[in-house]
Amino acid sequence: MENKYEYLKRDISWLSFNYRVLLEATDERLPLYERINFISIYSSNLEEFYKIRVADHRAVASGSTKNDEESVQSARQLVEEINAIVTRQTDERLRIYEQQILPALRQEHIVFYQDSQIEPFHRPFITKFFEEEIFPYLQPVPVGSGVVSFLRDNRLYLAIRVYPKAGPRTPLYFVMKQPYAKVPRFIELPPHEGYSYVMYTEDIIKANLPLIFPGYEVDSAYCVRISRDADILIDDTACNDELVEQLKTKVKKRKIGDVCRFVYDRTMPHDFLAALTAAFRIKVDEIVQGGKHLNVEDLRLLPKPGQGGPPVVERPKPIRLTTLNERASVFDYVARKDLLLCYPYHSFDHFLHFLYEAGQDPLTEEIMVTQYRVAENSAVINSLIAAARNGKRVTVFVELKARFDEENNLATAGMMRAAGIRIIFSIPGLKVHAKVALVLRRGGGGEEVPSYAYISTGNFNEKTATLYADCGLFTCHRDIVHDLHNLFLLLQGQESISFSTLLVTRFNLLPELNSLIEREMTLAREGKAGRIILKMNALQDHTLIDLLYEASQAGVQIDLIVRGICCLVPQQPYSRNIRVTRIVDSFLEHARVWYFAGDGSPRLFIGSPDWMHRNLYRRIEAMVPVLDADCRAILIRMLDIQLADNQKACFVDARSRNCFKPWQPGTPAVRAQYTFYDWLDQHRPV
């Protein structure tokens, strides 16, 4: 029977989210360099999207990969649709950059040169800088005429056309890799009459091309770049040692994967473009228009003249709880009541102090942690190593298949193993995405003492903890500790595992989730207030979307706070009671929080899974019920504030468009992230 429901396309919805990121660059209330940084984030997001998602669709479209959910024709149509949307978004990005950002920089007395046409008073400096700092690292490579060249992934190249000054006027083409390993992307020039000046390195090169090609007339030069398939296909049913060797080999090949995007300066003449695409065997559906300057994710490095580098955007200082200062015991506090921390509003140092205390506590027997993405030179890893050297048993599950973090995870695993930490690697056929830690303790005389569980929505990464909005729960609740211990036994290969309180994918999470939604439907049918609020990063699984459609039709009032992908279609007869809210602001909304009103007896959960098919069926994820009334109150307050946001929140409509909430000056302004920070600062636990 044909499904009566509709769904938005996953990748088109993601493009809508990324466009919302770009729109932050238009907000004149933000510091200028923060607006510039959002252009960088937009571009970086798009690059990864092409390397993974578009690369997959192109593989299906070419027939090299089969997909039961996508035909060759539908894959081709989707790639065309994506490219068309990205082209329109690129037009908007260029408009924002040229008509808003550059004039705003000039208002701050910063002139950002955009081409090789420079003021006469800077020409001597630019020529000298080129000759001394850039020229030694340049190596033009001829293109065409049987010459085989290779463009590396994510590198910026200058494509140049020249004509011999003597003989037949036959065009010659060259590509030249930009020397950013040796020279910064942005160069500060001498100030002049109260104005500071910045210039792209490639524009300095363009201004001096005749010095590189003596005997030739330089016709023109344009930036180009290649994006290559970065997905890694491995046999993850292999044993650990074989898996490690596979990853080491395939990560190295990531830079030479198949082309998934060829981006070029849209002002390039057609015959110039044709010569390049023929030489590099670029297919039509791989060609994507760009601006004069590519790799604009580098704008995060744009210096503010006189500061010696990019300006640091001011953020509220993380709240350090006086009840958990360095002289206090996290263990003692959590033994009395559960503790909920909300990052980056609360300091991540409290979690580091928890690990430190576990490593020093004489009653600690074992520390268990999952590692998905950790920071380089991680304080978390250093704390675990210190605990191991202090005689504690430390077990760390390392997910080797965390995309783009494979090498870092391998390196940290090797470092931990050398320090005596027991390392468990990936489970065959699954990713472990749960973010959990467990401290098992035993009394010196065998008496029972509390053990401690920590379940988070975010990675154990002190760097992203300052950028991502996440939640983490400390508890010594016996059932949760027992379930979390069972989860680690599962990760070690033990079978016949069950869970009574913790919700774990592939075990009890989906049945319990269905039961929670059905409970609200029953209340609504009885004339009571059925209410659900779901906060997550992505909503794609059709089975759960269908259940939300059914709940809506039963009268349940549903609010979805979904940062990224949302395949549920609002504003339809079957979704009339569902609103979809998207928030993009200073911090990346990353927490997963589920709220079920329960006719005055609310149930709340936090944890790691989004409602993507992969999360629910192909990963180990964990959600924990929030049992403490004070912790539940914090989460409810956070959700209420986010739903009241009228500054950075927008509704997502039936066409996946970002529709900003109307706000009238003079009415209270609610900017959820900063309002919630202020509330947390005023309601510190005691």
Q: Which residues pair with 177 in a beta bridge?
A: 157
Cα separation, 28 vs 392, in Å, equals 53
> By the 8 A CB rule, do 488 and 497 touch?
no
Q: Which of 375, 403, 133 is nearest to 254 (CA)?
A: 403
What phi and psi values does residue 63 have, to the nearest 5 degrees?
Answer: 85, 0
> By the 8 A CB rule, do 547 and 521 touch?
no
C-beta atoms surrounding 620 within 10 Å: 24
Amino acid at 627: L
Cα separation, 436 vs 414, in Å, equals 21
**Residue ranges with strand state E in 503-638:** 503-504, 531-536, 557-562, 578-583, 588-589, 592-596, 603-607, 619-620, 622-625
Cα separation, 181 vs 6, in Å, equals 49
**What are the distances in angstroms from CA 514 to CA 438, 479, 511, 520?**
28, 22, 5, 10
Cα separation, 184 vs 202, in Å, equals 10
Residue 129: both structure tokens together = 């800088």
Helix (H, G, I), strand (E, B) or coil at 371: strand
DSSP characters over 172-205: EEEEEE--TTTS-SEEEEEEETTEEEEEEHHHHH
Residue 496: both structure tokens together = 């016949």
Pairing relation of β-strands 468-475 and 588-589?
parallel
**Which distant-in-sequence residues (6+ apart) come within 8 Å of 377 by Cβ?**
none
What phi and psi values does residue 147 have, to the nearest 5 degrees?
Answer: -80, 125
Cα separation, 670 vs 662, in Å, equals 12
The angle at the Cα of 662, spanning 5 to 584, to the nearest 5 degrees, equals 70
For the chain, percent helix, then strand, then coil, each to nearest 5? 40, 25, 35
Cα separation, 7 vs 112, in Å, equals 44
Q: State yes or no: is 433 an active-site residue.
A: yes
Residue 333: both structure tokens together = 């506090």
Pairing relation of β-strands 578-583 and 588-589?
unpaired
Cα separation, 480 vs 625, in Å, equals 9
Amino acid at 464: T
Q: Which of 559, 535, 503 is nearest to 635 (CA)?
A: 535
What phi and psi values does residue 488 have, to the nearest 5 degrees?
Answer: -70, -35
Catalytic residue of the set 57, 122, 293, 433: 433
**Which distant-in-sequence residues (6+ apart) come within 8 Å of 536 by Cβ?**
560, 561, 562, 563, 592, 593, 609, 610, 611
**Which distant-in-sequence residues (6+ apart) come within 8 Å of 14 by Cβ?**
49, 53, 564, 565
What phi and psi values does residue 67 have, to the nearest 5 degrees?
Answer: -140, 125
Task: State the DSSP code for 153.
Answer: B
DSSP characters over 251-294: HHHGGG--EEEEEEETTS-HHHHHHHHHHTT--GGGEEEE-SS-
Which residues belong to the active site?
A: 433
